[in-house]
Amino acid sequence: MRRALFGLALTTLVLAFAATATGGPNEPAAIPGCAKSSLNLIEDGKLTLGTDNPAFPPWWGGSPKKPWKTSYPYSGKGYESAVAYTIAKRLGFAHGDVQWTAMPYTKAYAPGKKPFDFYLAQISYSPVRAKAVSFSSAYYFVNQAIVALKGKPIAKVKSVAGLKPYKFGAPLGSTSYSYIVRYIKPSEKPAVYDTLNDGVTALKNGQIDGLVVDFPSTGYITGVQVPNSVVVGRLPTQGTKERFGLVFEKGNPLVSCVNKALAAMRRDGTLKRLERQWLAGSAPLLK
């Protein structure tokens, strides 16, 4: 009897070890009620995600491979890529089950059918956008910030009121542009650009005094794209706190399971840990 029990115990131990080594039964189970087979996906067994191209640090990382420029979403590096793969894992997807498609961010929240299960590229929730697409709960709360060339008068500004004489730029349809016209209310009409890259070029060439972007993006701009630039400061929250959400085709029930994954990541500190890992840095808050 002892030999039989010992053999059974040994077999159980071997099976348990094999399951762990191969990523089997001992891996965390998918979120209850969100089995892969029940999810509303573009392709069964695959999670198709979208983002902009180029996708910039610190939101994305990894050496680019065609057709991707600047970063490589498949790398899992950068805050948004890391968040996306963590959600995928919690829904039961292996790294290789995730595939990426490129789309300009303004098209991602336009009405119509989507070529992705969800999309992320620092898209802020707004009631207007939510009429055309569904948003997840927040995966990041954001402040806007201002980047200017070093040595320029704007670089010494300490308050929102002190920004009024200057010319600003921001991407088309962005919350950065909305902040300029609603809260800064500068004396000069702000410039609008099709892409953030175009805005960066305008700043570099002195066509604008300040570029308004989400704060974490300022690190790559000042460190790599425009080395002779500086973060003037973060802009204070006005009205409802701005949040980034994952974008889904309107009415896609997948958002419910993704929200459960995000809630768990918030509870266990995963989102905070990823923020510390990828979005470190600070700048003064303008008054």
Q: With respect to CATH, is domain 144-234 assigned 3.40.190.10?
A: yes
- Given 3.40.50.2300, 3.30.1370.60, 3.40.50.360, 3.40.190.10, which CATH number is that of 36-141+242-278? 3.40.190.10
- Any bridge partners for residue 243, and if so which? 141
Nearest one of 105, 102, 92 to 49, comparing CA atoms:
102
C-alpha angle 135-141-142 in degrees, rounded to nearest 5? 115
67 upstream amide cis, omega within 30 of 0: yes
Confidence of residue 39 (pLDDT cuts 50, 70, 90): very high
- Per-residue pLDDT at 265 exceeds 70: yes
In Å, how far from its chain's centre is CA 70? 16
Q: Which residue has the higher pLDDT, 237 or 281?
A: 237
Using 50, 70 and 90 to split pLDDT, how confident is the model at 11?
very low
- Residue 16 confidence (pLDDT) above 90: no
pLDDT by residue (tens digit) across 176-228? 999 999 999 999 999 999 999 999 999 999 999 999 999 999 999 999 999 99
What six digits make up the tokens of 144? 């806007």
In this prediction, residues 146-153 reach a mean pLDDT of 97
Torsion sign over Cα 154, 160, 166, 171: positive
The answer, yes or no, to whether residue 19 has pLDDT greater than 90, is no
Residues 6+ apart with CB under 8 A from 71: 54, 55, 56, 57, 60, 61, 62, 64, 77, 78, 81
Quick one: angle between helices 270-278 and 254-267, nearest 10?
Answer: 80
Per-domain boundaries in the chain: 36-141+242-278, 144-234
